[in-house]
Amino acid sequence: MGDNMKELPNEEHPFQVKMKEWFEVNQEIYSKFKDKIQSVLKDSLSGNDKELIDDKMAAFQNTILEVLDKEDGTLDELTERFTAAITDGNVLAYCLYCYLELDNGFEEIADTMTDLELPVDAKYAKDGIKAYLQDKRRETQEAVNKDLNLLGLRRWHYDHPKDYQEFINLFAKAYDGDMSFFIKGMSYLTEMLSLDGIEGIPELLESLCPGTESYNKAQFSNNNQQVHERLKDLFASTLNQETVKQKLLHNNPFMCSTFYWMIFDDGFVKMGDLLSKTMMGDGSSIWQKSFGGQFMRSLMLTSFEKASYTKGAWKTMSKNGVAKGIVSSTLQEANGRRGRKQVSVLLEEMFMPPHAELFTKEIRNILTEWMETNGTDSILAYLFAALTSCNLLNDSYNYRTFHTAILEKFPDFGFKSGFDWAEALYNAIINEHDCDYNLSLSEKTVTKGKEQANLIGIRLRTLLSTDVY
């Protein structure tokens, strides 16, 4: 299973990655800053040193107003406010960004402002903070929904290995001239396109064929769109998304295989290889090579945009094969992915095959017992800490991957989609230096977490052998 797993991007701004690195090595500086901020917020509620607090709060509110003085709540907009100051080495800017974005600063400020009688400007800041928090929750939910959709494909693949192998075998026959794969694919595509889309495909193909009327018109057209852009617009305007959704929901073998193949099994690259060998070889005509090159380029750009492929996935074809010129030029033009990579993997796939069923069943038992008596999401942090510290996983995974896998496998428990708090607790549990990672966690909470993780670890390891302890 692991061999055809594709890493997917965690939608994380590279600036945020840089700030996390600074945050992790400057805990002492940040802690002093945070103590001052929290002191201001606390004193503002108690009324202590009112004149001094008013001055501090006024300055702080001005800073927040400047940060929130934007049209929307995207991370790009927020980070642009800090970039210049941080480039100049402004430690205060580093600290403020970490407090607002990597810690629970927005929440703390929102809670404080709720209990204060604020002037008009401060109320604007309060509304801005509220809107920003809502945007972040929405973005988190959208990211989780995307991950769960991908896991839905992995679940189908995990449960239908024979169907997927038949799909792979059908594609392999295309190298020998068997057109069944393409005929079947075009048949399904026709079902999902409107009449305009069906008519648009042959029209597009004709415009690429020298000597046709469509080709001659295209040469004198003011439309400067490239082939991949025209294909993108054609499908965006004529593809029936509901039909696609229904076929996936009903586990249509060819459709589910196609999407899994493209996203997780380098399907775009494999299709490009087939095109290069059947249409762009030494014996191919100039028209065939041109036609194949256009579609090779479209495949590459679509794979970057829609399926989160990296340039590295295509680089082998830039060194070998008849299409290396097209591949090399497209790689130079295309923008690379940014941010860290997010792995999409099922819970069962995190364990070695002999133990997958055993551990999955025991994890359900652990979650059931905990939720019956406690009902908190903290159990997920304890559980993942136990799995990682006891080396029970078959690879290194981040907490988000585990959290999403739990949501997919056990939707009936009702765990929250957001993973920031549980991830912070997990990092605090496994951190040997007792250093908070994202959120403020009490020493009691962390100590309890380590105790629970240790007990769960013993329980899981005992499953493998009753003589472990």
Residue 151 lies in a domain: no
348-352 LR contacts (CB < 8 Å, sep 24+): 348/158, 348/409, 349/1, 349/2, 349/5, 349/154, 349/158, 349/394, 350/387, 350/393, 350/394, 350/395, 350/397, 350/402, 350/405, 351/392, 351/393, 351/394, 352/394
Residues 188 and 292 grouped into a single domain:
yes
Residues 216 and 330 grouped into a single domain:
yes
Residue 126 lies in a domain: yes
pLDDT score of 2 more than 60: no
Q: What is the pLDDT of residue 342?
A: 62
pLDDT score of 469 more than 60: no
Kindly provide the residue ranges of all beta strands, DSSP E only, lying in 237-382, ordered along the sequence.
341-343
Q: What is the pLDDT of residue 72?
A: 44
- What digits encode the pLDDT tens for the residues 71-112? 444 445 555 656 655 666 667 777 877 877 777 777 777 666
CB 109 within 8 A of CB 41: yes
pLDDT score of 348 more than 50: yes
- Cα–Cα distances (Å) from 250 to 243, 246, 253, 254, 412, in that order, read 11, 6, 9, 11, 21
Residues 241 and 313 grouped into a single domain:
yes
In whole numbers, what is the pLDDT of the chain averaged over residues?
77
Residue 455 lies in a domain: yes
Q: What is the pLDDT of residue 10?
A: 43
Residues 191 and 336 grouped into a single domain:
yes
Phi, psi dihedral angles at 342 (to 5 degrees): -115, 125
- What digits encode the pLDDT tens for the residues 230-246? 777 777 787 777 777 78
What percent of the chain lies above the pLDDT cut of 90? 27
The DSSP bridge partners found for residue 193 are 239
Residue 146 lies in a domain: no
Residues 354 and 293 grouped into a single domain:
no
Q: Give the residue, 82 or 377, on which the prediction is more confident.
A: 377
Q: What is the pLDDT of residue 167?
A: 95
pLDDT score of 439 more than 90: no
Residues 361 and 448 grouped into a single domain:
yes
pLDDT score of 437 more than 50: no
- Cα–Cα distances (Å) from 385 to 51, 391, 407, 465, in that order, read 47, 10, 17, 20
Residues 210 and 330 grouped into a single domain:
yes
Instruction: Report the C-alpha gap between 93 and 391 in whole angstroms.
Output: 39
Residue 152 lies in a domain: no
Q: What is the pLDDT of residue 436?
A: 43
Give me the mean pLDDT over the 435-442 stretch. 56
Q: What is the pLDDT of residue 168?
A: 96
Give me the mean pLDDT over the 342-356 stretch. 90
Domain end position, chosen among 96, 114, 141: 141
Give me the mean pLDDT over the 380-399 stretch. 94
Give me the mean pLDDT over the 110-136 stretch. 58
Give me the mean pLDDT over the 110-117 stretch. 62
CB 298 within 8 A of CB 234: no
Q: What is the pLDDT of residue 106?
A: 72
Residues 192 and 215 grouped into a single domain:
yes
Q: What is the pLDDT of residue 339?
A: 46
Residues 401 and 374 grouped into a single domain:
yes
pLDDT band at 43 (very low <50, low <70, confident <90, very high): low
CB neighbour list of residue 39: distance below 8 Å, 6 or more residues apart: none
319-323 LR contacts (CB < 8 Å, sep 24+): 321/273, 321/276, 321/277, 322/276, 322/277, 322/280, 322/281, 322/282, 323/272, 323/275, 323/276, 323/280, 323/292, 323/293, 323/296
pLDDT band at 440 (very low <50, low <70, confident <90, very high): low
Tokens representing 301 are: 């750009």
Residues 279 and 178 grouped into a single domain:
yes
Task: Give which of 361, 373, 377 is closest to 459, Cα–Cα.
Answer: 361
Residue 149 lies in a domain: no
pLDDT score of 290 more than 60: yes
pLDDT score of 50 more than 70: no
pLDDT score of 165 more than 90: yes
Q: Give the residue, 56 or 267, on which the prediction is more confident.
A: 267
Of the listed ranges 114-123, 399-408, 410-419, 424-433, the least confidently predicted one is 114-123
| Site of tokens 């750009």 | 301
pLDDT score of 151 more than 70: yes
Length of the chain counted residue by residue = 469
CB neighbour list of residue 216: distance below 8 Å, 6 or more residues apart: none
Q: What is the pLDDT of residue 468?
A: 47
Residue 179 lies in a domain: yes
pLDDT score of 228 more than 70: yes
Q: What is the pLDDT of residue 367?
A: 96
Residues 306 and 369 grouped into a single domain:
no
| Site of tokens 């026709």 | 190
DSSP three-state, residue 234: helix
Residue 173 lies in a domain: yes
pLDDT score of 312 more than 70: yes
Q: Give the residue, 119 or 353, on which the prediction is more confident.
A: 353
Number of structural domains found in the chain: 3
Domain end position, chosen among 310, 341, 372: 341
Domain end position, chosen among 324, 341, 358: 341
Of the listed ranges 227-231, 291-295, 324-328, 393-397, the least confidently predicted one is 227-231
Residues 235 and 117 grouped into a single domain:
no
- What digits encode the pLDDT tens for the residues 183-207? 998 888 888 877 777 787 787 777 7
Q: Identify the domain containing residue 112 by its residue range.
A: 11-141
The DSSP bridge partners found for residue 7 are 343
Give me the mean pLDDT over the 295-299 stretch. 87
